[in-house]
Amino acid sequence: MASASRFYCFTLTIISLSCFGQSKSKLPILTTKQEIKNIRYLSIDGKNTYYQRRSGSFYLSTKFKLFEIIKGKKGTEYSSSTSYYQTKMAITVNRNYHTLFSIRKPLEIYVTELGKPSAKYIDTGVNPNLHLKDEWISFYKHKEKQLQFSNIKNDINNFQIKIGSQLNPYFVPEVIMLNDFEIVYTDINNNGFPGIIHFNRTTKIFTSLYKSVSISKKLEFCYNEKDLFIIELSIGQQAGGTNIYYIKTPSNYKKLKSKDIIYSSKLNDIGKMVCPRNHQNLYFVQNLTNPSGKEYFEVSKIDLKTRKVDVISNLKNVTNLIYHGGRVIIPMHGVNYVVFGNHELPDDKINFETVEQQ
Amino acid sequence: MKLKIFLPFWQNQLNKNYFIQPIIIFTMVLSTNLFANIGILGPLQKIVRHEKSQLYKLYNVAKKNVKQYNEVKDIKSIKMAPLFLQSIILNSDPKFLEISNKDSCRFYSLLENSLLRTSLGFIDNVIISYLTKKKSDPLKDKLKNNLSEEIVQLGLLSVKDFIKINYNKKCYNQKDVVELFTVKNVKKTIKNIKFIVPKTEKDCDSILSDWSDNLYLPYLCNLSNIIRRGETAKKEKAELATGEIRKIRKFNNQISFSNKYKDLLSYFQISYIENICSNINSPKRFCNRYLAKDVWTKVLNGAKPKYLLKYQCYNILRKKNLSKLDYQNCVKIISHNDPRCKREGANNYPAIFPKQACSEISDALLEARLVTKYQDCPGFLNNEGIINTFRLIMHQEESIPSLDSKRCMDPAIEKFYNLYNESFKNWPFKICYKNRFQQNTQCTSYFPGNSKHPSSEGSVIGKIIENFHAGEKNTFCHFIKEKNYNPKRLKYQSGCFLVYQEKNCSSFNCPKKIIQDLKELKDIKYTGEILFDMIPNSFKNEFKSIAYILAKKYKSPLKSLKNLTEINFFMKASIKNIVYGVGCVEEILPRIYSNKSLNGCTPMPFIIDSTKNVKGNTKFTLRLSIDDIHSPRLVNWNHVFNGVRSFQEKHPLNLWALYGFSK
């Protein structure tokens, strides 16, 4: 009976893929009190919810109180990102989200301490990332082709790195900070080959750590301030394969050279690695195209001890995977499937009996 | 070369040709002298050389007796001199001789269309032989009982007259065909010819067989030759010194004659005719082009439009004027999946990098419909909505953007400005200046760019200078990079210049110094920001969206396509129909773009212009606005669905932003 209904759904899929949105997954769905599409951050304990309203402002709802964090007009769009430390959140504000489609336009960047009803304006740019226990924030400025690093506590320490990529106007580098002085980032050389560069702020020396063999490769980092994972993806239609490298505690760049392959595939995976702190699994979107060529993409996890790869979703066509508020989530068609972490709302009812006794 | 043709030709002709066979035997008998002198087993080269000298002698004899049509039209015994005919057989292209096997009228038709030749070259005049009475000696005649003796007379007759005589005598049908291929009628004639493209190898033989029976074939091949000669003349003329007036005149005549026909035929027709005429005896070679699986070969044989290949080859060969040979070389390169497809052109026409591999582009273009007779540069234009709109407009108009501006993004801005201005009068970009007569500040609409359009930045500032800063009439302000601007040089001493620093510039925000006759003008200011609804963002302002304006202007109903069935149905309705939409780039290109935020989405407009099934996956030929226009990608429908669906979640009207765009 179950297989019949699956077949029915599959048939319908061919005719109308709208049934994809209703795929029955074995994964739990993230439940929220308000419409999920407005939420930008939901803490694991459910106490802090950041969301945007149609009016265009950005709010924090915490402990039955509501705070306006950033004011905006109708049509303003907010997005947020956190590190694996979960102490601060970077917010980008796009004030012309629906009226100016430009992937490179500079967005306002703010930082807020999670749960605190205020946000600090940093600068404009794209792709903000928090580093080193959320004390630093980096972001990219397309126009200047510059990676900007801001110390959230002390602006004096701010610095920049000029990116070499001339061939790809849409390139945004991946970046990690090993410590206050050592930065590792991706770049594209004059011939179009992606590579990894190490920069030492003290000596001002740039060292090339790795260069891909093909221009059709993309390098992505996943760093939880303990372990570093690098995925090398093939971005074309032609099969170029995927490799995931693992570098344990890369306290300095010398260690970066001794990387270990923990996963390799002949297929072009999607990637989007998530590597939570103190967690023995690495999550990513894997290409599970069957021998006949039918394409499937699912979330898989690599057990870092045994290096065993397990497929953990059954949604057929996963294209996205994010780390959010202590959870690993697959956002798909407006539904958020929880791969790891709490998916239910904590019980925050007021216990009237206790109140009466008091 | 001749020898190479010679032997197989004889073997072939002796086995197959029923018309030529008697001619050959006849000519061999008649030219026994030739073989007697050098021996039948003598080297072929000697035969050929000897034949040429014999023909030359014959020609010298015949030219003493040049005949006109009226003089010989009634002579029944008139025929081609055997040695002349033999020379044609020895020197003409075997594939055409094979056609002449059908009947003698086909032979004359080939002669008429300059498809045959002798050892002396192309045939303008025919050496004829005919019987005539020997000048009579009354005494001898008396002795022979008044019987006059007939002798063979040689003469020279123009091909035109020779053909006329023979068509009048026996080839009546052929006379009608001649009429069909006059300059007056040729267009109509060609229109009625079916140029059938083979779909399988089986089709090849039957198509070629039909063509070799077709009476039009020699005339079509002649057209092809005329066009080719015109092209050659163009090249040779370009290399001539200006003093060689006679040669220039000759080439000009050839070019204009060629153009008369070239303008009447499509690129596909020209290419098809050339292919059939070159390969009429080789079905395999004829079909190779049409059965090729890559789009590049299909372009070469005219089955696909040339612009699909042109810009790839511009970039790969790094040259703009491409000859036919250049195209062939280019196809050789890209057919082997050369990595240059991914890289070349990225500096001058920046887009997302790397571009797709040659083979992927070829696969994507096989059924593609978007008309792309231009090259744009999304990387220079920081607005994906404008690029997408420009591409949609150009698909409808099928035009080639004017190149009066040096900046490659200007045509896109200008087209967008025109579209916007036709519907609204509130174009946001203004240049404001002080009106010294009315003592107030006035603003004029402009669009960024350096074209000659009256509303371009250079023209608008020029007009302001003309009116309020004592500039000359028709002042135009030229863009110049600060590093190139040198006020000491004579050319910068007078006139208007808009000096900018490249590093501070984006397409819509590029602060400039306005310099008129070396003096900087500081009272002219730029204002405005380009914000618009690509798709309807509210019910109230639906009519203000670009999607609505495009639908109205090009009479293409704004129809949302909800699922794959609707998309396929719409695409099948017309071969010019395309689809456009907006989706989250992180879902459409998940390997390249990542999203770290809950409900994060970067909207990206795109155009879909074909669908195909690849190993059970429905794939679209898709160009994101940040993609190079000539490097489409094949994207899985599931990814497009995810992208559009995720953007729907973000949209204020929960709109499914995927629209059909008909033409």
- Whether B409 is in a domain gets the answer no
Is the same domain home to B220 and B76?
no
Cα–Cα dist B549/B420, whole Å: 8
Same-domain pairing of B244 and B354? yes
* pLDDT in the model for residue B9: 40
- Which tokens in the block code for residue B86? 């033999």
B487-527: per-residue pLDDT in tens? 989 888 888 999 988 777 777 778 889 999 899 988 888 88
pLDDT at A308 > cutoff 90: yes
- Which residues 6+ apart lie within 8 Å of B25 measured at CB? none
Taking only residues 329 to 368 of chain B, the set having a beta carbon closer than 8 angstroms to any beta carbon of chain A reads 339, 342-343, 346-347, 350-354, 356-357, 359-360, 363
Residue ending a domain, among B527, B552, B569, is B527
Q: What residue in B sits closest to A92 (Cα-Cα)?
A: B597
Does residue B265 form part of some domain? yes
Domain shared by B475 and B342, yes or no: no
B87's tokens? 């020379």
Predicted pLDDT at B145: 53
**Element (H or E) spanning B158, and its range?**
strand B150-158
pLDDT tens-place string over residues B119-141: 888 898 999 988 877 665 555 55
Cα separation of A7 and B585, whole Å? 31
Residue A193 contacts B where some CB pair is shorter than 8 Å? no
Cα four-point dihedral sign B62, B65, B69, B74: negative
Cβ contact B616–A293 (<8 Å): yes
The residue in chain B having the minimum alpha-carbon distance to the alpha carbon of residue A80 is B597
Out of B563, B582, B637, closest to residue A18 by CB: B563
A92 with A79: CB under 8 angstroms?
yes
User: What's residue A223's pLDDT?
Assistant: 93
Average pLDDT of A126-135? Answer: 96
Question: Do residues B480 and B612 share a domain?
Answer: no
Other Cβ atoms less than 10 A from the Cβ of B413: the count is 26
Q: B527 has which bridge partners?
A: B430
Straight-line distance from the first to the last Cα atom of chain B, in angstroms, rounded to the nearest whole number: 52
Residue A317: partners with Cβ closer than 8 Å, 6 or more residues away: A20, A296, A297, A332, B638, B639, B642
Report whether B54 contacts B8 (CB < 8 A).
no
User: Per the domain annotation, does B220 fall within a domain?
Assistant: yes
Closest CA to A98 of A72, A126, A125, A68: A72
Match 């980032």 to its residue by tokens: A185
Rounded Cα–Cα distance for residues B389 and B406 (Å)? 21
Condensed to tens digits (0 to 9), the pLDDT of residues B585-605 reads: 999 999 999 988 999 999 999
Contact B649 A37 (CB under 8 A): yes
User: Is B655 in CB contact (< 8 Å) with chain A?
Assistant: no
Residue A18 pLDDT greater than 80, yes or no: no
Q: Are residues B344 and B216 in the same domain?
A: yes
Determine, yes or no, domain membership for B411.
no
* Residue B506 placed within a domain: yes
Taking only the tens place, the pLDDT of each residue in A224-276 is 888 899 999 999 877 789 999 998 876 666 666 777 899 999 999 999 999 99
- Which has the closest alpha carbon to A268: A295, A292, A249? A295
Please count the residue pairs, one from chain A and one from chain B, whose beta carbons lie less than 8 angstroms apart: 198
Tell me, yes or no, whether B323 and B448 share the same domain. Answer: no
Read off the tokens for A274.
């998530």
> For residue B133, what is the enclosing H or E element?
strand B125-133
Q: How far is CA B163 from CA B104, B224, B393, in A?
A: 11, 21, 53
Contact: A103, B604; criterion CB under 8 Å:
yes
Residue of chain A with shortest Cα separation from B582: A101
For residue A24, pLDDT beyond 90: no
Contact (Cβ atoms closer than 8 angstroms) between residue B317 and residue B131:
no
Residues B345, B291 share a domain: yes
Query: Three-state SS for B106?
Result: helix
pLDDT(A12) > 70: no
Q: Residues in chain B with pLDDT < 50? A: 1-41
The domain boundary, picked from B336, B365, B394, lies at B365
Contact B313, B306 (CB under 8 A): no
Same domain, B331 and B206: yes
Task: Assess A163–B contact: CB distance below 8 Å, yes or no.
Answer: no
Q: Does B596 sit within 8 Å of A218, measured CB to CB?
A: no
The answer to whether the CB atoms of B354 and A36 lie below 8 A apart is no
- Distance in angstroms (rounded) separating the CA atoms of residues A12 and A18: 8
**B219 domain-assigned:** yes
Q: Write out the residue range of the structural domain in which residue B26 sits.
A: 2-170
So what's the pLDDT on residue B100? 81
Report DSSP letters for B626-656, one per residue.
TS-TT--EEEEHHHHHHHHHHHHHHSTT---
B216 and B305 in a single domain? The answer is: yes
Contacting residues of B for A320, CB less than 8 Å apart? 586-587, 590, 595, 642
Task: For residues B164 and B313, state if they share a domain.
Answer: no
pLDDT tens for A185-201 read 999 999 999 999 999 99
Task: Say if the Cβ atoms of A270 and B591 lie within 8 Å.
Answer: yes
| CB count in 10 Å sphere of residue B187 | 12
B359 plus B216 within the same structural domain = yes
Contact: A99, B537; criterion CB under 8 Å: yes
> Residue B42 has what pLDDT?
54
The partner residues of B158 in beta bridges, in order of sequence, read: B125
Domain identity same for B36 and B129? yes
- Give this prediction's pTM: 0.76
Which pLDDT score, from 0 to 100, does residue B8 have? 40
Domain boundary among B345, B365, B385: B365
What is the number of structural domains in chain B? 4
**How many Å lie between the alpha carbon of B378 and the closest alpha carbon of chain A?**
9
The interface predicted TM-score of the complex, written ipTM, equals 0.90
Residue B42 forms part of a structural domain: yes
Q: What is the pLDDT of residue B296?
A: 93
Residue B176 lies in a domain: no
Residues 6 or more apart whose Cβ sits within 8 Å of residue A271 = A218, A220, A231, A233, A242, A284, A285, B591, B594
